Amino acid sequence: MNSLEAKHPGEKEYLQAVREVLLSVADVYNEHPEFEKNRIIERMVEPDRIVTFRVTWIDDNGEVQNNIGYRVQFNNAIGPYKGGIRFHASVNLSILKFLGFEQTFKNALTTLPMGGAKGGSDFSPRGKSDREIMRFCQAFIMCLWKNLGPDRDVPAGDIGVGGREVGYMYGMYKKLVDEHTGTFTGKGFDFGGSRLRPEATGFGALYFVENMLRRMNKDIKGKTVAISGFGNVAWGAAMKATQLGAKVITISGPDGYILDPAGLDDEKINYMLELRASGNDIVAPYAEKFPGSQFFPGRKPWEQKVNIALPCATQNELNGDDAKMLVDNGVELVAEVSNMGCTPEAIDHFIETKTVYAPGKAVNAGGVACSGLEMTQDAEHLQWSAEEVDAKLHQIMASIHEQCVRYGQQPDGYLNYMKGANIAGFMKVATAMMQQGVI
Ligand code: 2IT
């Protein structure tokens, strides 16, 4: 950790993600001297390759715009590089390295053969026209396409990149290689996408939560749920939580959060899509549209008393003070759906108070798992029904939960999901690296 900090000063998200995993795996690492001998940790914490490029495009006023693009190909020990692309003003190398590192272990947990990667740009889709988004996506892929391929590196969406952006990027990719190889997941169903891919991250998270509750002899019906965010992940989570009989009482945006004591229903969940499509990145209009709900500007939903908390927005969105409020208010379960949604202080507080908490790399793995299923469908030139995909998603989430139990069970009966997920993911990648020699 010291040498990594010296080599990459200031990359705080990346160093945070690495520290969490290294602390979790210390014991098993020390049981395997062959890992140390082969410098497995030193090799695992550095990305295999980072591609960075200038993306130049022309806006609607005819002005030339420049952004920075990146692809971090982190680790391909267990399969082709796989992971999303993020378009957000905050994107930098530290954030993409943390995401690529997390993705490597998450993908290992899915049981599917996928390595880890992440990419993106500091391009902000906020307020951009459809044509501007298209031109940017095309310019981005013109810089990156040579590094991609169905058995090499398969991108997908993340924050700021949904079906529309994937369509524009894949369109340009396909034109350049002149082959329909499915080298992108989250594509539209009409050109090789998988059923349920848009819903998969949120649905998978709720299937994972059902497994957690089952172990506690509890039922999700009637539980109150706080969700943060209002993007694709929050949308899928709200829909499945509601279908399973829970009551979702919050969503949030960069401008604040909405409290809706009546709970979200189909109309309100659909309205989340409208809010997002507006491109303004705010949730305040929800309170004007649905009487009985209330907007709290500049605040986070974790101050509400709920049974279940599901961070679904972005990294470090739930800090130590938020964790204290949730625990003091008697929260029964916290499942991180965003990547690294909780700060180290928040996680420490959950573990110290024996609060049931599971990390993003386990809870949100349903998204990339469904991407893996999309790759399989593309490779066999078939498309499966929603029922078939949903059944596989259920199995995969149950398997991830089992892996957490296997490696995370503590002597006092507390299940440390973070430790379980980190060790299970680490062991799979480390074993694959060992078997492939020193490369
Ligand atoms: O964080 C994630 O797992 C994603 N953004 C989805 C990645 C993927 O390749 O589907």
Q: Which DSSP string corresponds to 91-129?
A: --HHHHHHHHHHHHHHHHHTTS---EEEEEES---TT--
Q: Is 371 in the pocket of ligand 1 (CB under 6 A)?
A: yes
pLDDT for residue 170: 98
Q: Is 24 in the pocket of ligand 1 (CB under 6 A)?
A: no
Average pLDDT of the residues in 108-125:
98
Mind listing the pLDDT tens digit for each residue in 137-152? 999 999 999 999 999 9
- Tell me which residue has its CA closest to atom 10 in ligand 1: 368
Ligand 1 centre to CA of 261 (Å) is 31
Residues 233, 199: Cα–Cα separation, whole Å: 7
| Percent over 70 (pLDDT), the chain | 100
Ligand 1 centre to CA of 370 (Å) is 9
pLDDT for residue 364: 98
pLDDT for residue 405: 98
Q: Is 331 in the pocket of ligand 1 (CB under 6 A)?
A: no
Which residues carry out catalysis?
A: 118
* Nearby residues of 139 by Cβ (< 8 Å), 6 or more positions away: 55, 56, 57
Q: Is 314 in the pocket of ligand 1 (CB under 6 A)?
A: no
pLDDT for residue 13: 98
pLDDT for residue 75: 99
Locate the ligand 1 atom nearest the alpha carbon of residue 157 and give its number. 5
Ligand 1 centre to CA of 363 (Å) is 12
Average pLDDT, the chain: 98
pLDDT for residue 295: 98
Nearest C-alpha neighbor of 122 from the set 163, 76, 85, 72? 85
Of 86, 105, 364, best ligand 1 pocket probe by most atoms within 8 Å of the beta carbon? 364
Starting at the edge strand found earlier in the chain, the sheet holding 224-227 runs 294-297, 256-259, 247-253, 224-227, 308-310, 333-335, 356-358
Residues 264, 28: Cα–Cα separation, whole Å: 44
Q: Is 82 in the pocket of ligand 1 (CB under 6 A)?
A: yes
Mind listing the pLDDT tens digit for each residue in 34-47? 999 999 999 999 99
* Nearby residues of 156 by Cβ (< 8 Å), 6 or more positions away: 82, 83, 84, 85, 166, 184, 185, 186, 367, 368, 371
Residues 366, 23: Cα–Cα separation, whole Å: 25
H or E stretch at 243: helix 232-243
C-beta separation of 28 from 423 below 8 A: yes
pTM over 0.95: yes
Count of alpha carbons within 13 angstroms of residue 425, beta-carbon side = 31
Locate the ligand 1 atom nearest the alpha carbon of residue 102 and give its number. 1
C-beta separation of 332 from 309 below 8 A: no
State both tokens at 213. 């509750």
Locate the ligand 1 atom nearest the alpha carbon of residue 99 and give its number. 1
- Which phi and psi angles does 202 have, rounded to 5°? -70, -45
Residues 376, 336: Cα–Cα separation, whole Å: 27
Mind listing the pLDDT tens digit for each residue in 273-303? 999 999 999 999 999 999 999 999 999 999 9
Mind listing the pLDDT tens digit for each residue in 398-417? 999 999 999 999 999 999 99
Which pLDDT band, with edges at 50, 70 and 90, does 423 fall under?
Answer: very high
Average pLDDT of the residues in 77-100:
98
Starting at the edge strand found earlier in the chain, the sheet holding 81-87 runs 49-58, 64-75, 116-121, 81-87, 153-156
Give the residue carrying structure tokens 């960075």.
52
C-beta separation of 195 from 189 below 8 A: yes
pLDDT for residue 370: 98
Mind listing the pLDDT tens digit for each residue in 189-213? 999 999 999 999 999 999 999 999 9
Residues 178, 337: Cα–Cα separation, whole Å: 37
C-beta separation of 73 from 154 below 8 A: no
Q: Is 361 in the pocket of ligand 1 (CB under 6 A)?
A: no
Ligand 1 centre to CA of 368 (Å) is 5
pLDDT for residue 275: 97
Q: Is 339 in the pocket of ligand 1 (CB under 6 A)?
A: yes
pLDDT for residue 27: 94
Which pLDDT band, with edges at 50, 70 and 90, does 80 fall under?
Answer: very high
Mind listing the pLDDT tens digit for each residue in 337-372? 999 999 999 999 999 999 999 999 999 999 999 999
Average pLDDT of the residues in 131-142:
98
- Which phi and psi angles does 281 have, rounded to 5°? 60, 40
